[in-house]
């Protein structure tokens, strides 16, 4: 009996490729493979594994034998989940393993924006530090300030934990349902979005991208924030109306922002680069050696389960099981 065929299209260490080869026939294609190369490879596959590629009907119409896709990511907004479910194609993701790493990065952005770290690092390296700094270079305190979490899932809760226990920050949060554990452990208080934006000194976005969250923070919402507030985005770029944010930062409508995600990625040129009051990182929420390996390993485990008749641990679309 011939082995099932798996195509690796991005982000997988060689040790894990070898593990897949113990079970399947494996083809590795470049992450930069164009649509024609990808489609030709997918047409022979029962399994796909990778990340950072949009996959829907157009990309998968030739993949008539496809059974499962293992995404090396938590978010799955790149996939047409309804289409996959209709075809009975299982989709898996990699939650949990990147929670703490991404929360660390969120707090890195918060601290960097509050204390103007990149700006003042550049100031020193450019040779401008020739006397004691004055108020024009002062940052803002973090300890004791109010932290607002928009989307208090695993990552949001981990950021809240860092703020409350590490910096004595009162915690506000907004979600579709109450989070009793946050309220009991940290005294967190649930707010409607508008009220959170008005009260918080730091607003951290950690919602998934969906029709409901696209453009969630626009000119109106930015106008509700304190002029001393700092906005952190760890979610997805389209959650923020980027031109509105740029204008708010230019006008000093809010103090600053820390961004790891953008409407267009990679971001090769942007008015954001001209603004001293924004920290820009290249979508590195989970980008540590340890976490990326753990994510890839979890994706491999999911794919092996899916293609050997077991239910994967991290199944995004369980309804697809009924279509098989």
Tell me which residues are annotated as active site: 236, 265, 283
d(CA 275, CA 270): 10
Query: How far is residue 38 CA from its own chain's centroid?
Result: 25
Residues 6+ apart with CB under 8 A from 73: 51, 52, 93, 94, 295
- Name the helix (H) or strand (E) containing 58: helix 57-60
Q: Is 27:47 a contact under the CB 8 Å cutoff?
A: no
Q: Is 52:10 a contact under the CB 8 Å cutoff?
A: yes
Q: How far is CA 76 from CA 81, 95, 123, 271, in A?
A: 8, 11, 39, 28
d(CA 52, CA 70): 12
Q: What one-character DSSP code corresponds to residue 318?
A: G
């Amino acid at each position: 009996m011939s082995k099932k065929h798996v195509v690796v299209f991005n982000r997988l260490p060689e040790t894990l490729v070898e593990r897949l080869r113990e079970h399947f026939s494996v083809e590795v294609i470049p992450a930069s493979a164009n649509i024609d190369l990808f489609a030709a490879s997918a047409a022979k596959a029962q399994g796909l594994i990778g990340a950072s590629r949009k996959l829907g009907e157009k990309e998968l119409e030739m993949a008539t034998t496809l059974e499962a896709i293992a995404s090396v990511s938590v978010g799955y907004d790149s996939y047409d989940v309804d289409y996959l479910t209709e075809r009975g194609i299982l989709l898996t993701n990699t939650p949990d393993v990147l929670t703490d790493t991404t929360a660390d990065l969120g707090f890195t952005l918060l601290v960097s924006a509050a204390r103007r770290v990149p700006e003042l690092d550049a100031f020193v390296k450019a040779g401008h530090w020739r006397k004691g700094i004055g108020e024009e270079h002062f940052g803002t305190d973090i300890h004791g300030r109010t932290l607002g979490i928009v989307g208090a899932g695993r990552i949001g809760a981990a950021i809240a934990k860092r703020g409350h226990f590490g910096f004595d920050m009162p915690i506000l949060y907004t979600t579709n349902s109450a989070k009793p554990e946050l309220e009991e452990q940290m005294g967190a208080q649930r707010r409607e979005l508008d009220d959170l934006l008005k009260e918080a000194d730091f607003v951290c976005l950690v919602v998934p991208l969906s029709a409901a969250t696209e453009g969630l923070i626009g000119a109106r919402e930015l106008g509700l924030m304190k002029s001393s507030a700092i906005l952190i985005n760890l979610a997805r770029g389209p959650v923020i109306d980027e031109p509105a944010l740029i204008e708010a930062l230019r006008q000093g409508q809010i103090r600053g922002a820390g961004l790891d995600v953008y409407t267009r990625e990679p971001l090769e040129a942007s008015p954001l680069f001209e603004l001293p009051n924004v920290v820009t990182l290249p979508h590195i929420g989970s980008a540590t050696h340890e976490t990326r390996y753990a994510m890839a390993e979890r994706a491999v485990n999911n794919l092996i389960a899916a293609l050997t008749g077991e239910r994967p641990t991290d199944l995004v679309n369980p309804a697809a099981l009924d279509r098989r």
